[in-house]
Amino acid sequence: MSSAPQLLGPAEARAMQDSSNKVAVLVAGLAGAAAGLVALVVMLLSVRLSVTNAARRLEQPESQTSKVAIADHAEASYCTPRFKEVLRRVLHSCGLADTGTRRGCQPTDVKTFASISDEDFNQLFAPLKERGGVIMFDSGKSDLDQDAKKLLEERWLDRRGARYFFVVARGSRTGTQARNRQLSHERANSVLFFLKELSRDDPDLDKKVGMLWLGKEYAQLSADYCTWPVSRPGKKCDQEAINRSAFVSWVDCRL
Amino acid sequence: MSVASPRLPAVIALVGALLGLIFATTSTVDYAAHLDRRLHEVHCSVIPGAPAKPEAEAEGCRAAMYSPYSAVLKEQFWGGLPVSLPAQGAFAFFAGFAVFLLLAGPRASKTALIFMAATGTTPLLVSLVMFLISVIQLGTICETCMGIYLASLLVAGGGLLGLRALRRSPTDQSEHPTGEPLLALLWLATLALVTLAPVAVYAASMPDHRPYLRGCGKLSKPQARPGLLLSLGGSRPAKAALIVADPLCATCKGVHQRLVQERVLDRLAAEVLLFPLDSECNWMLEQPLHPGACVVSRALLCAGDQTRKMLDWAYDEQEYLVQAGKTGVTALREVIRRRWGDAVAACVDDKKTDLRLKEHLHFAVDNSLPVSTPQIYLGGQRLCDEDTDLGLRFALKELAPEVLR
């Protein structure tokens, strides 16, 4: 064997070298192809596995999904079950919540629907002292003066998260029951008309404002209410004056 | 091994190809994980095999992933087909080819060396384009992408260095065989096939997202009173849209920018419902998530015909505004006054502006919207949160195809 090279001529040696080179290149090519194939297969498997795993997770809802809160109206601490019950009854019965044809509640209605004594009725509104305001009127009148409009606008613009705006109009003990019913009705309407002026482009105003007119026969206010935010601060305020009024306030309750 | 030897360039190319394969696979796996419509951590490092990072530490990679350039055919497939897929195929091919050149050494044909040099530069060219897009369009560089760019550089470098072996040194009597030019065509076809293989596998394995697109709710009372919502006035509006947004919410900014980048915002008759996640004005929160958002929202209500301009400003300057908001409302008001003038500043403090802002919040209540931002409604149909990033174009194609025309 050791003498074999001596037997080969240059051409044969070259041919042998070429042949050996070809084999080496072929082996290298096969090795390269195998390496590439392995890389390709591993990579394709990883792609397939990633996608199918995601698809499987997609079909299985997450076990611990965090619940997102839903937007809702404000709920203040004064919204006791009793308070809400009375308001709900009044709202439904006075036509507001159902957007029915009826608009507002008369004293007798309120008495019936609220099913609550005068004192307890007023007590329900006690937490609204700072939130609301008492719009005061002249004797026998129902038109709003500038101070009344100012306080009303101030209170109306301070809506925050409230859903309903309440207007509770009253009449003083002076005069007949019928006259005071009519007066308190007109006072409530004066407030509503001014609110309509303020919110000319709000078609839903009627769905926000709840009106009650109590005349002189239900839930009269005591002189203590003179210390509430009133439209005529510094002016003479007694039980007569405080009942020639309309109490207004947004109510921060979910009804 | 001398530089003139084809083995060293082959080693360089092999290392580059393997690194590229690792980075591209990492990128694909991260992308594919999101096909389940959930949030996942993403790998974002130039170190191969580094662990995944939470959202705050992977901003660059997430920005790249959510960008319009991360995938193709996004209207046909939810999330599209990530561009890392063909990269995976190409790197696998180059890994195999580099092994071949390494083993063949000086016996490798000229054709093989030229082929490697010519095709090995293509990943680098693509990388260059992607790098420029990252810098110019996104203003950020994804670290995993950077790994791919470096790997591409190595593959191209290896290929080009291999050409040097073709120059015969005076002492070297050997000559690289010419090789069969037809082989180059075969390799090219193989390269094309291997490059497309992962794309085909990915597309064939994808789940159908269509059943999930319409399950995120609707507006129950879509009609707001005229003039209440802020109009963004698209230039060629084709579909009514409501965007529930907080100007200081980072996700809102991201979605807004995505809508702009995807050229979708101009095709929407978009109106904004302001929903600041700030307890100063929003009674639905006990604590402010974005202090100062109420003030910026009021400023937007005072912007008049500059609403879009001011919203863009608020998003562009969001970090600064957030900081000012944390300092206090006074500082924020001053920033607004300096940029938008005394009239807007006075309007911000007007009670009527606050009432209008409350009306926005009440609109959310009337429609029982989730307390979260952003939300997008297309003609009253809510676009799921999961469809506002990767799946945006697919969801639009299904829910509002006119927007994409």
Per-residue confidence (pLDDT) for residue B6, from 0 to 100:
65
- Determine how β-strand A245-251 pairs with β-strand A133-136: antiparallel
Confidence of residue A227 (pLDDT cuts 50, 70, 90): very high
Per-residue confidence (pLDDT) for residue A6, from 0 to 100:
59
Pull the structure tokens for residue A11.
């051409």
The dihedral region occupied by B340, where left means phi > 0, alpha psi between -120 and 50, and beta the remainder, is alpha
- Determine how β-strand A245-251 pairs with β-strand B52-53: unpaired
Mean pLDDT in chain A? Answer: 86
Q: Which residues of A touch B284 (CB under 8 A)?
A: 69, 71-72, 161
Within B184-231, strands assigned E span 230-231
Report how far residue B115's alpha carbon sits from residue B104's, in angstroms, rounded to the nearest whole number: 15
Which residues partner with B370 through β-bridges? A70
B/e letters for A125-142, b = 16+ CB within 10 Å, e = fewer, are bebbeebbbbbbbeeeeb
Residue of A51, A163, A206, A255 for testing the chain B interface, max B β-carbons within 10 Å:
A51
ipTM of the complex: 0.87
Per-residue confidence (pLDDT) for residue B153, from 0 to 100:
97
**Phi, psi (5° rounding) for residue B378?**
-105, 110
**CA-closest candidate to residue B317, choices B340, B346, B301, B289:** B340
Which residue of chain B has the CA closest to A58?
A: B36
- Determine how β-strand B239-245 pairs with β-strand B268-274: parallel
B/e letters for B356-378, b = 16+ CB within 10 Å, e = fewer, are bbbbbbbbbbbbebbbbbbbbbb
| Interface A:B, Cβ pairs < 8 A | 165
**CA-closest candidate to residue B43, choices B87, B72, B84:** B84
**CA-closest candidate to residue B109, choices B175, B182, B191:** B175
- Determine how β-strand B381-383 pairs with β-strand B81-82: unpaired
B344 touches chain A (CB under 8 A): no
Which among A21, A39, A62 is the nearest to B92, CB-wise?
Answer: A39
CB within 8 Å: A72 and B284: yes
**CA-closest candidate to residue B227, choices B320, B134, B356:** B356
| Residues of B (229-268) whose Cβ lies below 8 Å from A | none
Choice between A107 and B51, residue whose per-residue pLDDT is larger: B51
Q: What is the mean pLDDT of residues A162-167?
A: 90
CB B91 within 8 A of CB B34: no
Residue of A25, A66, A156, A254 for testing the chain B interface, max B β-carbons within 10 Å:
A25
Which residue of chain B has the CA closest to A21?
A: B107
Report how far residue B75's alpha carbon sits from residue B94's, in angstroms, rounded to the nearest whole number: 31
**How would DSSP label each residue in B101-145?**
HHHHGGGS-HHHHHHHHHHHTHHHHHHHHHHHHIIIIIS---HHH
Confidence of residue A161 (pLDDT cuts 50, 70, 90): very high
Confidence of residue A217 (pLDDT cuts 50, 70, 90): confident
Q: Which residues of A touch B212 (CB under 8 A)?
A: 58
B108 touches chain A (CB under 8 A): yes
| Residues of B (32-61) whose Cβ lies below 8 Å from A | 32-38
CB B117 within 8 A of CB B161: no
Which among A25, A29, A47 is the nearest to B201, CB-wise?
Answer: A47
CB within 8 Å: B36 and A54: yes
Which residues partner with B244 through β-bridges? B273, B375
Residue of A30, A47, A67 for testing the chain B interface, max B β-carbons within 10 Å:
A47
Confidence of residue A1 (pLDDT cuts 50, 70, 90): very low
- Determine how β-strand B42-43 pairs with β-strand B52-53: antiparallel
CB B199 within 8 A of CB B89: yes
Name the stretches of chain B with pLDDT < 70: 1-6, 55-56, 167-179
Which among A46, A58, A158 is the nearest to B207, CB-wise?
Answer: A58
pLDDT at A44 over 80: yes
Report how far residue B64's alpha carbon sits from residue B138's, in angstroms, rounded to the nearest whole number: 7
pTM attached to this predicted model: 0.82
pLDDT at A129 over 60: yes
Per-residue confidence (pLDDT) for residue A103, from 0 to 100:
61
Per-residue confidence (pLDDT) for residue A8, from 0 to 100:
66
Confidence of residue A14 (pLDDT cuts 50, 70, 90): confident
Report how far residue B4's alpha carbon sits from residue A138's, in angstroms, rounded to the nearest whole number: 109
pLDDT at A109 over 50: yes
3 state DSSP class of B367? coil
For chain A, counts of helices (H) and of strands (E): 9, 4
Per-residue confidence (pLDDT) for residue A104, from 0 to 100:
64
B186 CB burial (10 A radius; 0-12, 13-18, 19+) = exposed
CB within 8 Å: A54 and B34: yes
pLDDT digits (tens, 9 = 90+) for A63-79: 666 688 999 999 998 89
Which among A36, A55, A59 is the nearest to B95, CB-wise?
Answer: A36
Looking at CA atoms only, how far is residue A220 from chain B in angstroms?
Answer: 32
Which among B107, B201, B209 is the nearest to A44, CB-wise?
Answer: B201
Per-residue confidence (pLDDT) for residue B3, from 0 to 100:
44
**CA-closest candidate to residue A205, choices A165, A244, A240, A233:** A165
